[in-house]
Amino acid sequence: MKQTKNWFKEDLREKDLILCPIHRADHWSLVAIDTRTKTVNYLDSLQGSRNISPAPGIMKKFIEKYYRDKGETVKFKVKVRKDAPVQGNGFDCGVFTCK
């Protein structure tokens, strides 16, 4: 988290939606942080990895710490999106992440 401190020129708390593409072990997925509802949404086109990925939990910790560092105590909830489309092969995850 220390390494990302200078990445942001604007206050993330003022954004409605923060999109975080995730690449791990040759697979793409997406974390979408909704600051209005205080929800970390996780979208993964592989059903098998939806519930085991550490990505949404890591991003939840990150955004809560970001708010704390700005003087606010906020709790975000993680929502693994079951309505994310499922890919039918082993190589289209990047396309699904973009969509």
Burial annotation 39-72 (CB, 10 A radius, 16+ → b, else e): ebbbbbbbeeebeebebbeebbebbbebbeeeee
Given a cut of 90, whether residue 76 has pLDDT beyond it is yes
pLDDT of residue 15: 97
pLDDT of residue 3: 81
Q: Which residues are catalytic?
A: 27, 44, 93
pLDDT digits (tens, 9 = 90+) for 20-55: 999 998 999 999 999 999 999 999 999 888 889 999
Domains of the chain are: 2-98 (3.40.395.10)
Is the pTM here over 0.85, yes or no? yes
